[in-house]
Structure formats: C-alpha cells, structure tokens
C-alpha cells in the first residue's frame, strides 16, 4: 500500500501526477465544480485531465469524474441532455467495460439518466436549494472510490443541491440494499426526503459510484468546511489504479 | 407606418413624440432637440430617454458623488477608478481585484425572483467586462417588517432568485446582510455585489477604438423584456394608480450567463478583445453609446443584424430592450473568426453588428436607412445634471431629542436575561442560515470564510495563500438619526469587519439607497451621506472605486431610511492566518477592545425592546477605528488571537452569543469596573471588538495594545456550556441556540 500523499505537499507546489495516474474530469456546458474536482485529483496525487463534452476521445484516462453543476441549465431534467453528449457515449461504453466512474451531484444525475445507476433524483421535499455540511455513513468500502474508508465510517462533506431527493421503486431499493450497493446514507437528518436516507449508490461491479454530496469540496483543511473527509474518494481510486 | 429616419425627422419637425411617457422632462426634451438641431427620431428619443434616466445618468446624485473623486485618499492600490464598469485594485503578486455593489430594488419588489436573479446577473457581467473571473458574490438585503404578509411574498422569492441564479453560475455566496424594518415595506432593497480576480495585464475597458474594428454582440438573443426598465421602473416612485409594471422586469437565464462567462474569459485569454461592455440597464443604447464615446466616437451599427427572440420588435424596442445575458465586444477584423469560433464552442450566439468608424458620430441603420445619427457623448456623458434643492428636515431635531438613553432599562437580573434572549431571537439579530443555506458557499473550492463570519474571504492564489475579504454594512436607523454619521458608521463597520478577519482594508464600493431626490428631506440625507462617506474614506485611506445610486425608493410620501450600504475590500497575504469568530478553545481569555459608552440611539436594543428610534447614533472616531484595525491585523498575522468578532448592532452580548454558538463553547463574563451590566451588554459604541486570546499570548497581546494606546479590558473566559454574566444570569447554549436559530424558519418555513 502506498502512503497517502500529503495534501499540503502538493498544495505548496510539490509534484503532481507522481504515480502517473490520469483521472479525467468532464466539463459540460454549465458544469461548475470541474476545477474544484481537478484540484482534488491533484491534491490526492494524480494527474487531472480536462475532458470536453463534445469530444469522443477519453485521452487515455484511467478513470473519470463527472462533477457537479447545472449542465445544460438542468433544462428538461437535471442530467437529461448531458447524457446524450458524444463524450458520454464513450464513457458509458467504458464504464460497462469496468472503467471507474464517479458522479458527484449533477454527475450522479447524469449517471442515472444514462442508466449506469438505477433510480432518479427529484426536487428536494422542502423545495429549497440546500447548502450545508452533511454527515454521511460510508456503507460500502468495496467500490473503486471508497476503499480508503472503513465500513460504517462517518464523514462530513458539503451537500448543495435543489434536485437531490433520491427515489427508485421498492424492488430496486430492496435489490440495492440486498446487494450492498447503498454506498452512502445520510445521518443526523435526511436533508431532502431521499428514500431510505440514500445519499449515494454503486453499480454491481463497484466501478461506477454516484452521490449527491461533494467530496471534492472537502479536501483541504483551510477552505470549505475545514474538513478533509472527502479526500478518501480520490486516494481510493489512486491506490486502486496504482496497485492495478 | 413610415420609418422615422433621420431624414424624416428633419423634414417633420412638428411631429409629436412620446417623450413624457418615456420619462423625459420637458426641459430635457428641449435639450435633446437643441443638441441634435432637429427633433430626435423615435430611436434617438429611445436612447436619450433611457440613458438620461436617473438610473443611468445619475443626474440628481452626480454633483454629490464628485466628492468621492475630489476627496479621494492617495492610494497606490487603485488601478481603475470610478466611471468604468467596476473599480480595480492591486492586491499584490501581480493580481488585481475588481468589485462592485449594485441595486436591483425596484424590479425585485415587482417580481422578487426574477428581479433578484437578474441583479446577480448584472453585477457579474460588470465584473467580467473588466477582464476578471468572478470569484464570489454577496447580497445585502433590506426587507419590510418580518411579520408583514408581503414580506413572506418578497423575501422567499428574492432569496430563491439570488440562489437560483448565483448557484447556477458556480459563484460562492460569501456574505451579505438581511435587515427587516417597516420602512422598507413597499420598497425592499436588493443589493448585489461581486468580486472578480485577474492579472494586471488582463484589465479590459469599455472602449471602442481602432476604425475598422468590428462590434460583436454575443450572448442571448434580444427580446421584448425589460423595455424601459431603467427609465420607467428605477427612476420613478411606485404609484398604485399606474398600470402594472411587470413587463419592465427582465427574465434571467443563468445557464446562458455561465456560458457567457466562460466564453468571454477564453476570448480574453487569447487577447482577442480590444474593448468590451456588458448590456445591462438601457441595453444596446448604453453599450453602443458608451463604447463609442469612450473611444474616438465613431461607430456604425446595423440594427437588422441583432439576433432577435421576437421578430416583431421595432428598432426603438431593440435599442431599449434589457434582455439579460448579452455582451458587446470590439474585435480587430483578423481576430473575428477566432472570436466567433470560441462563441460557437460554448454554444453562444455571436453576430457582428457594426464597426468602429473614423468619424465621431454614432450611426445606427435599420432596413438600410439611418435612424440614429448623434454624438455618443451627448447620450452617455452629457446628460442633465441637477442641483436638487435640499434642506435639513423639520423633524430632524425632534427625532434627535427623543433620547434612547432615557428609555426604561431592565430592573432585575431576570429582566436583563429576558432581554438578551429577546434580542438574540429578534429577526434582525437571529441566525440568517435560513437564507444562506440556500446559497452555494463552497463552489470553486476557495472559500475560507463565509456568513456568519465578520467578512467573506476567498483564496485567490493557491501557491502563496493570497486572499481577499469583503464586508458590507449599513445601518439605516443610524443614518435616519444622523446621515453624516450614519454613512461613516457604515464604512467604519465594514472596515472593522474586514480587519477582524485579519485582512487589510484597501478600497470601498457603495450602494446608496434613498427615497425621492425631488424631496428636499431626502436630498439632504443624500448630501450628508455622500459628504460623510467621502470624508471618512479620506481619513481611513480607503478610496471609493465605484458604486451605485438607487433613488425613488419611496411609495407615496414614505421614503425608506437613508441606507448607504458600504462594501470594503481587504487583502490578506496568507489566508491560513485568517481569524474566525468562533470561540472554540476552553480557557482562552476574552478581551474587549475599545471603549464602551452609554450609546443606545438607533440600537437594536431600542428597536427590539421598545420599538423606538430616536436620539443620536454612536459617536464616530475614525482614528480609533484605524488603530483597532491595525491591532486586529497584527494580532492575526502574529498568531496572538484565535477568534475576533466586531461589535455592532446588538452590542457585546450579540457578538459573544454568535461566537459561542459558532464554536459550540460557552463564556463566563464579568462586568468591567466603571460599567453597569446593561450598558456592558447592549451599548453599540463604535470602534470595538471582542477577541479570544490563548493564555500563552496574553502578555504579548495586552502589551501591544497598551503600547499603541488601545483600551483593552479583560471581560471573561471561554468556558462551559452557557453564556454567563457573573452575578446576573446564565443562559445554556441550547436555549440560546434555539432562540437564535428558530426565528427565521418559524417566519418563512
């Protein structure tokens, strides 16, 4: 196991991409958290590769993150238009072949619209945009993006959305539970009415993970909530790819 | 109908034009005729009427605003001053920061969601028009009484609009204000501010130079929304008898604006842009006349080439439309292709609509005929200037004589305790999380401090930790009692708030919200405010870089309190040295900096407990403010304090309550010698702050204060789970938190 790189070392201008791992970060029109996600990837020690929605080429990345935002203004439905971009066609194919993909917030919505993950996100039950530090329990550490956490670990990372209420039919929810595919659950109060307090899920293979809260906003002690609880997503994938 | 061309206008001097309906006064119309030497065409009249409106021309305020230039302190930091889209200051390491606050008051009352949303959109376009990437927004708000039914219509809509637009742009909302007062019932104030960052060499200006250069209109298509918004909506008082003004409010599309930001910044990065102007109030009329007049004067525009949302629009409507999310760039001919390619990449519509000419006239054509032919300076800069009469209101003496210091004070410890709870739970002092939790404060990953901290702070350079801080303050109650002092207190508070976080105050922007300038009382308030603010900026060494005036915040005879909202921008060399408000470490010592006097005029206590407004506001001592700021900045830099909170409305007890709740730790307080408990807790004397000092730093800190002559008083210690005033009362944090946090959700859901 490689030692976790020091976040401050990279922040102060230390080497990035030292393990030669390339993680793609997709920009759709209206994506907002792309540069934050690139920073989180760099802090973890990998190389962040910007990907443009109109391209089909994945530029030989080892994994892909779909960041948050309001792609295409959330017109029609959140994620509904982005899902049809040329890049997504390639990502869908690659994800099915096992490439690790993480969808955060709007990225999660794109993954459900792409049917890489089941269910859908509806408007929050209180109808407001909500931005807060949200406590979660990591329910599954067997995914590509959560191996660095311990099972049942409680973490706090920012939540910020208006369409964050996870829903699926009972059969799907039962299946997710039975297969251990509920990856994250809300603690200390369900912020939006998500069924069974689900904050994030994974596919059967564990390479595709989607969640509404934002790990990329919790990677440096100085900014955001002051916690680094989200860094584990990025170190998890880095270690998996280095050890692969 | 015949097209009203320039030729036709010259031939038909007696044709009646609807100048009064468009908001021009008779003498103003006469002046237009004199300038042109003929009657204006319909299109020219449209341009003059919007550009000479109060909102665009500052015709009532100009003579007073001049002081900000005349009395400006010497500052090496100022790179671009008043008159451009936004001021620009140097913050070191080759970085420049631009910031500005603007009002969107009138539209937000008519249509709260869209009014507030497009307010954010407008200020952000001002920032990108300077060449900067926007990095944060703030939103100072003033609403009617918290329990008034109409406030339940306006506030949730305004907050949803600011959030809906700002969140979608990916800009962290790092601060703001929310003040309730019955005086804003028919005239809520929705001010929006933004900060942008760029390298020095990237500063862009609104200037069309170089004959042959192309004028490109890009962004949203032009529609019929917001026609005459500036002239009709923002430049008159509301009057029940007139028809609905809803069509004059614009509709925003934040997704389009996000694309506009990215595509503009990419064009800047490739050095494709000679001059740039955003389209806000007065739309194309403003953009073309300002670009042309700031250049050599000549520009030719083909109005037929403007992409339209509604093909039935007349040329007058196209010139007046305030459709959102549009920008106008001047680009050299050989770079046009690349500019258009970048727009195409971002799915942004872009069209060449004209070019810079070597003449000095702005000429606009429609269907091949010339419909505008004028000197652009006469539209953009030579509008009317009024020396409005003003006089100290007849009621001012009586108001000041109604001394708040004589109000009945709490007689027992139990009553004192009860009033503390009452204060903390009052809508103006209670937690604003109900508002700020609807805004994204994390996006961009550089937010170091956001509400409820004393100022918002964002990191602008990851390598060095260089950051900027912004605070906005304004107390309409103080200003009503004494507008000169009120303006200075607003500046002093924002200055103090910036320093409390460890940043060095650099520059000022202001948004001056007042009633009707045609009222001599209001005009006196305005004159006193500008004089007070300009004098104070000179003393504190912080120049005004730009700002905004909103007049006619008045329904019938009832004007709002004079409400200058003052923004102070500060710089901090390393954001890891910032000082938060939270009392987080048990055992740390609490010190009160500054002097506490019996000052209750305009105080939160007098409002909450007695519903009273009278007397004089707290005394202003700007030299003291400067000394306090120096101490706070030094202490932050040298690690002598772990928390600091400025003292303002609500006094010491409000600050201590907020710091305790933020850190989740209690405080044991002792009334200092020479003060009574009531004055200690509730007085609003200016120039004060409370700080938490680690025991190891106590001597070094108090020695520094002593050596520099700043009064410093030990008032207690961070300890336990309650706020306790020794010998008087104790309030558990759980009770305090309930009082503080439940008010706004209880009122607004």
Residues of chain B with pLDDT > 90, as a percent, come to 83
* CA distance linking residue B303 with residue B282, whole number of Å: 15
* CA distance linking residue B549 with residue A241, whole number of Å: 57
A131 is catalytic: no
Shortest CA gap B310–chain A (Å): 21
Number of H helices, E strands in chain B: 26, 28
Those residues with Cβ within 8 angstroms of residue B244's Cβ, 6 or more apart along the chain or in another chain: none
Contacting residues of B for A74, CB less than 8 Å apart: 168, 255
Contacting residues of B for A160, CB less than 8 Å apart: 167, 440, 442-443
Residue B237's pLDDT band (boundaries 50, 70, 90)?
low
Q: What is the CATH number of the domain that holds A69?
A: 3.40.50.880
Note whether residue A56 is domain-resident. Answer: yes
Q: Kindly state the tokens that stand for B514.
A: 């007042």
Residues B230 and B549 sit within 8 Å (Cβ to Cβ): no
Shortest CA gap B619–chain A (Å): 37
Q: Is A200 on the interface with B (CB under 8 A)?
A: no
| Tens-place pLDDT, residues B583-623 | 999 999 999 999 999 999 999 999 999 999 999 999 999 99
Note whether residue A69 is domain-resident. Answer: yes
What is the longest distance spanned by two Cα atoms in chain B? 88
| Tens-place pLDDT, residues B463-500 | 999 999 999 999 999 999 999 999 999 999 999 999 99
Q: Kindly state the tokens that stand for B492.
A: 């002093």
Across the range A90-112, mean pLDDT stands at 97
A179 is catalytic: no
Contacting residues of A for B163, CB less than 8 Å apart: 129
Strands A63-66, A22-27: pairing kind: parallel
pLDDT at B489: 98
Angle (deg, nearest 10), helices B733-741 and B413-425: 40
Domain range enclosing A107 = 11-243
* CA distance linking residue A243 with residue B690, whole number of Å: 53
Note whether residue A16 is domain-resident. Answer: yes
Alpha-carbon torsion (B318, B320, B325, B327), positive or negative = positive
Residues B572 and B652 sit within 8 Å (Cβ to Cβ): no
Note whether residue A1 is domain-resident. Answer: no
Q: Is A181 on the interface with B (CB under 8 A)?
A: no
pLDDT at B86: 76
B55 is catalytic: yes
Query: Which residues of B touch chain A, with CB atoms under 8 Å apart?
Result: 160, 163-164, 167-170, 253-256, 258-259, 345-347, 436-448, 459, 462-463, 465, 575-576
Q: Which of A198-207, B173-182, B314-323 has the lowest mean pLDDT?
A: B314-323
pLDDT at B297: 81
pLDDT at A3: 38
Contacting residues of A for B642, CB less than 8 Å apart: none
Shortest CA gap B161–chain A (Å): 11
- B168/A70 Cβ within 8 A: yes
- B459/A222 Cβ within 8 A: yes
- B160/A224 Cβ within 8 A: no
Is the pLDDT reported for residue B506 higher than 70? yes
Considering the entire predicted model, what is its pTM?
0.93
Number of domains chain A contains: 1
What is the longest distance spanned by two Cα atoms in chain A? 50
Note whether residue A2 is domain-resident. Answer: no
Shortest CA gap B602–chain A (Å): 34
Is the pLDDT reported for residue B55 higher than 90? no
pLDDT at B247: 56
pLDDT at A9: 37
| Tens-place pLDDT, residues A125-148 | 999 999 999 999 999 999 999 999
Across the range B418-426, mean pLDDT stands at 98
Note whether residue A85 is domain-resident. Answer: yes
| Tens-place pLDDT, residues B4-51 | 999 999 999 999 998 998 889 999 999 999 999 999 999 999 999 989
Is the pLDDT reported for residue B255 higher than 90? yes
Q: Between B255, B346, B438, which is nearest A70 by CB?
A: B255
Shortest CA gap A74–chain B (Å): 9
Contacting residues of B for A224, CB less than 8 Å apart: 442, 445, 447
pLDDT at B241: 47
Across the range A167-180, mean pLDDT stands at 97
Strands of chain A (E only): list them.
22-27, 47-52, 63-66, 101-104, 120-122, 130-138, 154-161, 165-167, 182-186, 198-202, 208-211
At B345, give phi and psi (nearest 5°).
Answer: -55, -40
- A160/B255 Cβ within 8 A: no
Note whether residue A99 is domain-resident. Answer: yes
Contacting residues of A for B255, CB less than 8 Å apart: 29-30, 70, 72-75
Note whether residue A179 is domain-resident. Answer: yes
């Amino acid at each position: 196991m490689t030692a976790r790189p020091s976040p401050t070392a990279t922040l102060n201008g230390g080497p990035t991409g030292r393990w030669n791992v390339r993680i793609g970060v997709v920009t759709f029109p209206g994506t907002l958290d792309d540069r934050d996600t690139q920073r989180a990837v760099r802090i973890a020690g990998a190389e962040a590769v910007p990907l443009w929605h109109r391209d089909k080429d994945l530029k030989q990345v080892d994994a892909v993150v779909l960041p948050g935002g309001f792609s295409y203004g959330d017109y029609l439905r959140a994620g509904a238009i982005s899902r049809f971009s040329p890049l997504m066609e390639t990502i869908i194919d690659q994800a099915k072949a096992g490439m690790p993909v993480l969808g955060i917030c709007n990225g999660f919505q794109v993954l459900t619209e792409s049917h890489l993950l089941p269910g859908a996100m509806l408007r929050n039950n209180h109808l407001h945009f909500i931005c807060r530090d949200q406590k979660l329990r990591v329910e599954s550490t067997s995914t590509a993006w959560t191996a660095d956490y311990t099972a049942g670990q409680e973490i706090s990372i920012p939540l910020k959305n208006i369409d964050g209420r996870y829903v699926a039919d009972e059969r799907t929810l039962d299946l997710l539970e039975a297969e251990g595919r509920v990856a994250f659950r809300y603690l200390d109060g369900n912020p939006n009415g998500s069924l069974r307090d689900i904050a994030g899920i994974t596919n059967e293979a564990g390479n595709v993970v989607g969640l509404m809260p934002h790990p990329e906003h919790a990677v440096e002690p100085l900014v955001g909530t002051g916690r680094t609880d989200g860094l584990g997503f990025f170190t998890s994938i880095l270690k998996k790819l280095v050890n692969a | 109908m015949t097209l009203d061309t320039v030729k036709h206008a010259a031939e038909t001097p007696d044709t009646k034009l609807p100048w009064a309906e468009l908001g021009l006064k008779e003498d103003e119309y006469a002046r237009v005729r004199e300038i042109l030497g003929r009657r204006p065409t319909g299109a020219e009249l449209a341009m003059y009427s919007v550009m000479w409106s109060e909102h665009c021309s500052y015709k009532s305020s100009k003579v007073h605003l001049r002081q900000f230039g005349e009395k400006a302190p010497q500052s090496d930091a100022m790179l671009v001053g008043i008159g451009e889209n936004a001021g620009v200051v140097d913050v070191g390491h080759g970085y420049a920061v631009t910031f500005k606050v603007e009002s969107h008051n009138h539209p937000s009352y008519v249509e709260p969601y869209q009014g507030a949303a497009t307010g954010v959109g407008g200020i952000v376009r001002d920032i990108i028009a300077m060449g900067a990437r926007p990095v944060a927004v703030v939103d100072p708000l003033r609403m009617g009484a918290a329990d008034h039914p109409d406030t339940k219509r306006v506030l949730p809509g305004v907050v949803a609009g600011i959030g809906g637009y700002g969140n979608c742009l990916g800009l962290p909302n790092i601060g703001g204000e929310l003040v309730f007062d019955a005086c804003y019932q028919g005239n809520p104030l929705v001010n929006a501010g933004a900060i942008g960052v760029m390298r020095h060499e990237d500063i862009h200006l609104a200037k069309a130079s170089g004959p042959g250069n192309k004028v490109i209109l890009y962004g949203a298509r032009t529609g019929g929304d917001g026609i005459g918004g500036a002239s009709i909506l923002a430049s008159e008082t509301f009057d029940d008898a007139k028809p609905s003004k809803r069509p004059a409010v614009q509709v925003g599309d934040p997704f389009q604006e996000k694309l506009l930001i990215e595509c503009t910044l990419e064009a800047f990065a490739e050095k494709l842009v000679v001059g740039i102007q955003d389209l806000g109030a007065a739309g194309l009329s403003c953009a073309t006349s300002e670009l042309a007049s700031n250049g050599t004067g000549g520009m030719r525009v083909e109005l037929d080439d403007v992409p339209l949302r509604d093909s039935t629009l007349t040329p007058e409507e196209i010139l007046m439309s305030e459709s959102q999310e549009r920008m106008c760039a001047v680009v050299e001919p050989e770079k046009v292709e690349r500019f258009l390619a970048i727009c195409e990449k971002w799915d942004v519509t872009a069209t060449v609509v004209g070019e810079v000419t070597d003449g000095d006239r702005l000429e606009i054509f429609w269907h091949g005929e010339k419909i505008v032919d004028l000197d652009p300076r006469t539209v953009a800069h030579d509008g009317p200037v009024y020396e409005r009469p003003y006089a100290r209101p007849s009621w001012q003496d009586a108001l000041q004589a109604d001394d708040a210091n004589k109000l009945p004070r709490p007689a027992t410890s139990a009553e004192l305790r009860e009033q503390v709870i009452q204060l903390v739970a009052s809508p103006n002092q209670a937690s604003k999380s109900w508002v700020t939790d609807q805004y994204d404060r994390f996006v961009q990953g550089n937010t170091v401090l956001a509400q409820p901290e004393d100022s918002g702070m964002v990191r602008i350079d990851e390598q060095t930790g260089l950051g900027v801080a912004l605070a906005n303050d304004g107390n309409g109650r103080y200003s009503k009692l004494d507008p000169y002092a009120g303006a200075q207190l607003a500046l002093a508070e924002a200055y103090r708030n910036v320093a409390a976080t460890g940043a060095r105050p650099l520059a000022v922007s202001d948004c001056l919200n007042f009633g009707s300038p045609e009222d001599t009382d209001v005009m006196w308030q305005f004159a006193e405010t500008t004089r007070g603010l300009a004098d104070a900026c000179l003393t504190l060494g912080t120049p005004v870089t730009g700002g905004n005036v909103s007049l006619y915040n008045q329904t019938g005879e009832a004007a709002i309190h004079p409400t200058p909202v003052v923004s102070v921008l500060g710089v901090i060399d390393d954001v890891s040295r910032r000082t938060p408000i939270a009392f987080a470490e048990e055992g740390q010592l609490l010190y009160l900096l500054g002097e506490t006097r019996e000052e209750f005029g305009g105080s939160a206590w007098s409002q909450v407990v007695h519903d009273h407004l009278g007397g004089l506001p707290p005394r202003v001592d700007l030299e003291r403010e400067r000394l306090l700021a120096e101490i706070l900045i030094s202490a932050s830099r040298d690690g002598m304090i772990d928390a600091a909170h400025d003292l303002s409305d609500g006094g010491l007890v409000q600050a201590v309550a907020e710091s305790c709740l933020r850190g989740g730790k209690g405080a044991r307080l002792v009334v200092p010698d020479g003060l009574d408990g009531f004055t200690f807790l509730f007085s609003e004397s200016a120039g004060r702050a409370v700080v938490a000092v680690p025991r190891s730093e106590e001597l070094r800190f108090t020695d520094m204060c002593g050596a520099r002559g700043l009064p410093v008083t030990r008032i207690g210690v961070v300890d336990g789970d309650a706020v306790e005033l020794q010998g008087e009362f104790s309030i558990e944090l759980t009770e305090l938190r309930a009082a503080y946090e439940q008010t706004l959700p209880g009122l607004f859901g």
